[in-house]
Structure 1
Amino acid sequence: ERHFAVVGDDWDVEERARAALDQLGLGRIGLDRTIGEVSGGEGVLLRLAALLLARPGVLLLDEPTNNLDRSARRRLYDAVDAWSGVMVVVSHDRELLELVDQIADLRDGRVTWYGGNYSAYEEALAVEQEAAERMVRVAEADVKRQKRELVDAQTKLARRRSYAKKAQIEKRVPKVVANTRKSEAQQSAAKYRAVHAERLTGAKERLGEALEAVRDDDEIRIELPYTTVHPGRGVLLLSDLRLRYGAEVRGTLDVRGPERIALVGRNGAGKTTLLRTIAGELAPVSGEAEALVPLGFLPQRLDVLDDELSVVGNVARVAPTATVNRIRARLARFLFKGAKADQLAGTLSGGERFRAALASLLLAEPAPQLLLLDEPTNNLDLASVRRLTGALESYEGALIVASHDVPFLESIGITRWLLLDGGLYDTDPEAVRDGVLRAPEEAREPAGG
């Protein structure tokens, strides 16, 4: 009888609960398992299932796809697409944002609304920015014109004063008349200067307003000539590698030249463990992971920075022979200019910390010719993702990126897709996009040969 008050009229709650679990791919999960026994991705999906079951009037999702593998993301996308109620989602996941009806852009403490999904938002933003840049050019031209007119006005007044003084000296007019004219001229000149000065001030204010409308999403521009890896040169060799938590690379995997490899797999498959083993942070159970060129590793938590050092200090730590002036010049390309470069790493915002970590990685000595990136777009805003993409476009070394962000992987020119599921297997972006993150049951030649 005590259950009647809980269930009320919701007699199909058990069937709906199972349906919600099935919808999110959790139908086979043991219902007697504790939450502490499920993976992080499963925990996110379980929480979403509970929210869907509660049928809320408004559903709030805060970065729901962070740390979800591709198959889990696909199920979440489907659930979001099928949701018929009101939903507010905070996200930097471009695929998820393609499913929304409108976008609220929060910038500098103000919200601007855009109708449509992310693609429509980008198009509207491009039109806005083009108009804003056009207004800046118009305002700059107006400021220059007002400056010229003010100079012209001052020149004319100077000529009048000179003429009046000359006339007084030559006594062409009585002194009383000359003094009266002088007083009137001074008053007229003051008004004349004030009018032009006011126009110039107004033009500068309009320029300031126009500049505020232009987004300051500067791109990272870097040149890394010493990172070049010639085609055919050996970069990495994995031999009969067994990792701590069960994954393995049977045979040998030989990475050559400036390959760009996407490392994909479900949550818990061992992607981070493999990268940390390659980087030398973890010892393998057996086998060997040998980097044949200098490498750099950017972990998920960006814990490569010393919070007690400035941005300059962090780079100087990994580039001991570089002068401070040289470090500052190179940091400016990572958008750390002037006092920003002297800021302590512990006080940086998320996006700034990412740029500082990336700078420390890429400006190290010797220059890394193999980059290992572990979920680099997690918790990055879209401007930072664009900056990372731009930085990697100018990187000429080999690259191994563990990520579930397919649009990002495609944007950086991935040349090979490797699936980690017990062993390493070649796959393709279509399979990854569809959430196929398990090796097939039938025999399949692993990537390691």
Structure 2
Amino acid sequence: MSSPRSSLLFDRVRLVWPDGSVALDDVSGSIGVGRTGLVGRNGAGKSTLLRVAAGLIAPTSGQVSTSGPVAILPQRLAVDPARSVASLLGVEEPLRALRAIEAGDVDPRHFDAVGDDWDVEARAEALLADAGLPAQALDRTVGQLSGGEAALAALLGLRSSRAAVTLLDEPTNDLDREARARVGELVRSWPGALVVVSHDIGLLELMDATAELYAHSLSVVGGPYSAWRAHRDAEQEAALRAERDAAQAFRRERRERIQAQDKLATRTRVAHKAEIEKRVPKMFAGMRANAAQISAGRLRTQMQGKEDSARSALTEASARVRDDDVVRVDLPDPDNAAARRVLAVGDGEREWIVTGRERLALVGPNGAGKTTLLERLVHGTDDPASLHGRVYVDRVGYLPQRLDGLDDDASALENVRAASPAAPSGEVRDRLARFLLRGDTVTRAVSSLSGGERFRVALARLLLADPPPQLLVLDEPTNNLDLDTVDAVVAAVRAYRGAVVVVSHDDAFLSRLDLDLRLELREGRLRELPE
């Protein structure tokens, strides 16, 4: 068991995939009680670590100790659509028995199933209400809920199970603003220890501590994401300063060694010349030469030792500096004229036009039809009597929310080359490296990649098109991305000289895009929101 002050304890956990790639390499550390956010770069192994902690994957070596039963909400929610919401909440059996008793069935088995839980229905309905779900959802199946509602119901089920440790992997993905707020409320009062992997800064700010998985090492800082970010930045600033000082010291020691060697060489030449010119007796010259050699040897050893020590100090200082690669997304210029009409969207009452290089954000609650409207834009279907969209340019790049345009059985290289068949493999590899897709990652099946890696493959496939798209259509582009990659996407979209339509529930992301127009879709109608 873990210590009383920790909920999870990792002891040299190592995981090697069947293809030989290392997912986790001797990860050790502990996560305490309370709410902990787990952060790290895409591909660092956060989701894998959660699955190992939950017992879904057995580590190759090492072990995980927990403070009790562990429950997990995976990143890709796979709940049987035929499963009842009551079952998801863990109340199906007592609820069925209670209703049978209320209908007049006095079978003793029903009373045993209910036990003392006579308010099970009212309690379950109160749970649903806390998550903004209607009471009648209790009698529905998961398949009858929207994706956001299903995620909230699954979250409620985990919360009601009251496991000692609960693991949530990107719980706010695909959730609208209202649903995200409800997840926040659930998290604030969560029973037991909670570990959350997320790129949602608002959610991470609710944490009591922040753990980072970096270079197969797990470290924990007290406080929410902002406290961890400040700690990391201060740590890096100190590490960079120490590296500069160590580099300066190394250069000084090397320079002094070279200068000392030059002086010794000069003395040797002078002594040799004096002997040749017979300005000193041969015996005395030999004694002087011997003493000079001994002195020179000592000095060389001393100076070399100082230089070696300075080099070691520099190596040690450099090791403390994080070598964080970042995605470099340079979008090509599609040569859109500023006044060129690119697309139109409307709802039968009003229509909005987007030209040349303008950026449109489409927001609204889950189930409002945002993705449907994007599909109409991309595929050219039009229904003037209701929501409609029309594109006036030929080249449209579409990044769907589910990334379902990828061939999961093919590699990243094969997926990108399929969209750019004329590009040589070497050139495609070089470009994929700018998306941090290198080495074996390029040749592995896309199905084996992390969510962030899959996104980068899809983005590379989209952006390496030739000629470049005149319109980018992005549906929830920040899902599964680490925060540094979100920064890169923001910078790329801001610099892009074509038109952009983006659907997102991430207000922090949208606020950074220099939007020209923000439309809300609700109950079949569009309305323009103030900036």
TM-score (norm 1): 0.78
Deviation at 1:334, TM superposition (A): 5.0
The yes-or-no answer on 1:295 pairing with 2:396 is: yes
Correspondences of 1:262-273 after superposition (within 5 Å): 262-273=361-372
Does the CA contact (< 8 Å) of 1:235 and 1:255 recur in 2?
yes
**Aligned partner of 2:321 among 176, 189, 214:** 214
Change over 3 Å in CA distance of 1:44–1:331 after alignment to 2 = closer
- Structure 2 partner of 1:361: 462
- Structure 2 partner of 1:396: 497
Aligned equivalents of 1:412, 1:81: Cα separation in 2: 30
Change over 3 Å in CA distance of 1:288–1:40 after alignment to 2 = closer
- Structure 1 partner of 2:356: 257
Aligned equivalents of 1:16, 1:330: Cα separation in 2: 55
Q: Give CA-to-partner distance per residue, 1:338-369, whole Å, 9 cap, x none.
A: x7699437476654554454344334322223
Aligned equivalents of 2:190, 2:489: Cα separation in 1: 33
The yes-or-no answer on 1:318 pairing with 2:420 is: yes
**Aligned partner of 1:87 among 191, 194, 202:** 194
- Structure 1 partner of 2:482: 381
Aligned equivalents of 1:97, 1:310: Cα separation in 2: 31
- Structure 1 partner of 2:312: 205
Which letter does structure 2 place at the counterpart of 1:196?
M
Which letter does structure 1 place at the counterpart of 2:472?
L
SS state at 1:31 partner: helix
Change over 3 Å in CA distance of 1:195–1:328 after alignment to 2 = farther
Deviation at 1:89, TM superposition (A): 1.4
Deviation at 1:379, TM superposition (A): 0.8
The yes-or-no answer on 1:153 pairing with 2:260 is: yes
Which letter does structure 1 place at the counterpart of 2:255?
R
The farther-off stretch of 72-81 and 187-196 is 187-196
Change over 3 Å in CA distance of 1:267–1:313 after alignment to 2 = closer
Change over 3 Å in CA distance of 1:40–1:183 after alignment to 2 = farther
Structure 2 residues without counterparts, runs of 5 or longer: 1-107
Aligned equivalents of 1:7, 1:194: Cα separation in 2: 85
Deviation at 1:378, TM superposition (A): 0.8
Deviation at 1:319, TM superposition (A): 8.4
TM-score (norm 2): 0.67
**Aligned partner of 2:221 among 114, 118, 123:** 114
Which letter does structure 1 place at the counterpart of 2:182?
R
How many residue pairs get aligned? The number is 418
Does the CA contact (< 8 Å) of 2:169 and 2:198 recur in 1?
yes
Change over 3 Å in CA distance of 1:343–1:423 after alignment to 2 = same
Query: Percent same amino acid among aligned pairs?
Result: 47
Deviation at 1:425, TM superposition (A): 0.9
Correspondences of 1:171-210 after superposition (within 5 Å): 171=278, 182=289, 184-210=291-317
Aligned equivalents of 2:520, 2:223: Cα separation in 1: 34
Does the CA contact (< 8 Å) of 1:328 and 1:341 recur in 2?
no
Aligned equivalents of 1:228, 1:345: Cα separation in 2: 35
Structure 1 residues without counterparts, runs of 5 or longer: 240-247, 431-449
RMSD: 3.7
Which letter does structure 2 place at the counterpart of 1:73?
R
Does the CA contact (< 8 Å) of 1:262 and 1:402 recur in 2?
yes
- Structure 2 partner of 1:32: 139
The yes-or-no answer on 1:277 pairing with 2:367 is: no
Deviation at 1:263, TM superposition (A): 1.6
- Structure 2 partner of 1:234: 341
Change over 3 Å in CA distance of 1:332–1:166 after alignment to 2 = farther
Q: Give CA-to-partner distance per residue, 1:243-270, whole Å, 9 cap, x none.
A: xxxxx66664422232221122333333
Aligned equivalents of 1:332, 1:268: Cα separation in 2: 37
SS state at 2:333 partner: helix
The yes-or-no answer on 1:66 pairing with 2:179 is: no
Aligned equivalents of 1:184, 1:395: Cα separation in 2: 72
SS state at 2:250 partner: helix
Does the CA contact (< 8 Å) of 1:419 and 1:427 recur in 2?
yes
Deviation at 1:277, TM superposition (A): 2.9
Change over 3 Å in CA distance of 1:301–1:198 after alignment to 2 = farther
Aligned equivalents of 1:198, 1:279: Cα separation in 2: 67
Change over 3 Å in CA distance of 1:193–1:9 after alignment to 2 = farther
Aligned equivalents of 1:274, 1:212: Cα separation in 2: 50
Q: Give CA-to-partner distance per residue, 1:293-341, whole Å, 9 cap, x none.
A: 5321122344556775775993795384x789987887776567xx769
Does the CA contact (< 8 Å) of 1:259 and 1:399 recur in 2?
yes
Which letter does structure 2 place at the counterpart of 1:79?
L
Aligned equivalents of 2:282, 2:348: Cα separation in 1: 104
Which letter does structure 1 place at the counterpart of 2:467?
P
Change over 3 Å in CA distance of 1:210–1:316 after alignment to 2 = farther
Does the CA contact (< 8 Å) of 1:417 and 1:427 recur in 2?
yes
**Aligned partner of 2:508 among 407, 415, 434:** 407
- Structure 2 partner of 1:140: 247
The yes-or-no answer on 1:423 pairing with 2:524 is: yes
Does the CA contact (< 8 Å) of 1:319 and 1:364 recur in 2?
no
Deviation at 1:95, TM superposition (A): 1.0
The farther-off stretch of 66-75 and 300-309 is 300-309
